[in-house]
Each structure stands twice: as C-alpha cells, then as structure tokens.
Amino acid sequence: MATKPVSKKDMACNKPRATPSHPKKSHVVKACEAGTEKVIRFGEQGKKVGTVSGTAGKPKAGESARMKAKRASFKARHGKNIAKGKMSAAFWSDRVKWAIMAVMLNGMGMTAYVANTGFTGIYA
C-alpha cells in the first residue's frame, strides 16, 4: 500500500517518522533550528534495531560484546557529524536508531520510539 507523500510544510519540526515505502532511507525528519528548516532522510532501509545485522539500539543489560562494539564504532565513526546537531543526518540516526530504544511491535511492522521522557509516538 503506497502512502501519500508528505510535503515539507505539513511536517512537524524535529519529529522523525519512518518511511517504509522509501527505497533507500528508513526515516525522514524536518529539522528546524534557528529559523532554518531542512528535510533530512536517514537510516538504511531494512535494518532492524537491536539485531546483529541491524543497529544496536539502546544499551541493554547483558548485551553481547559485539553489540557494544557496534554501538561504540558507530559513535566513533560519526562523532563529528553527530556533534553538528539537528541539521545533520548523523544526529538523527544516533537519536532514533542508536540511542533511543526502538521496539518492534509483534509482527505489525510498526516502531514505537521511547525516549527518556516517555512514549513519544508510533509510526507505521
């Protein structure tokens, strides 16, 4: 089922959303900072959070050394770009796919993003 494209003016600022129908990128966000707006696509389509072949997700008690190394490697490799802030894809990838726990809901193909402040939304 194809989804209707969302225009930049209809998107909320700094609210990432999944893009399951996009051929290459898994998420999109309208980054807003200091009066500047920019649409940023990020994340590799098809990578699952918390799997060895995907992204590491939020650190978990008792996780494997391989997953810890994977997370550390991502942060070391992209540290400069993450530090650039909201206007970089690395910042959003770190926040959505690596730092915030993303829980796959039982076979529904939906992702719930949970931040330190609590539940922030479900995206199809």
With CA atoms as reference, report the closest residue to 47 among 5, 96, 12: 96
- pLDDT of 88 reads 94
- Contact between 104 and 47 (Cβ < 8 Å): no
Q: Is residue 21 part of a domain?
A: yes
Count of alpha carbons within 13 angstroms of residue 105, beta-carbon side: 11
What confidence category does residue 119 fall into, taking pLDDT thresholds of 50, 70 and 90? very low
- pLDDT of 109 reads 45
Please check the confidence at residue 105 and state whether its pLDDT lies above 50.
no
Q: Is residue 109 part of a domain?
A: yes
* pLDDT tens-digit series, residues 20-44: 888 898 899 999 999 999 999 998 8
- pLDDT of 59 reads 65
- pLDDT of 103 reads 37
- CA gap 56, 75 in Å, rounded: 11
Give Cα separations from 98 to 5, 9, 108, 113 (angstroms). Answer: 26, 28, 21, 11
Q: Is residue 110 part of a domain?
A: yes
Q: Is residue 2 part of a domain?
A: no
Q: Is residue 1 part of a domain?
A: no
Q: Is residue 49 part of a domain?
A: yes
Number of independent structural domains in the chain: 1
Q: Is residue 3 part of a domain?
A: no
The predicted model scores a pTM of: 0.67
| Residue 99 structural domain | 8-123
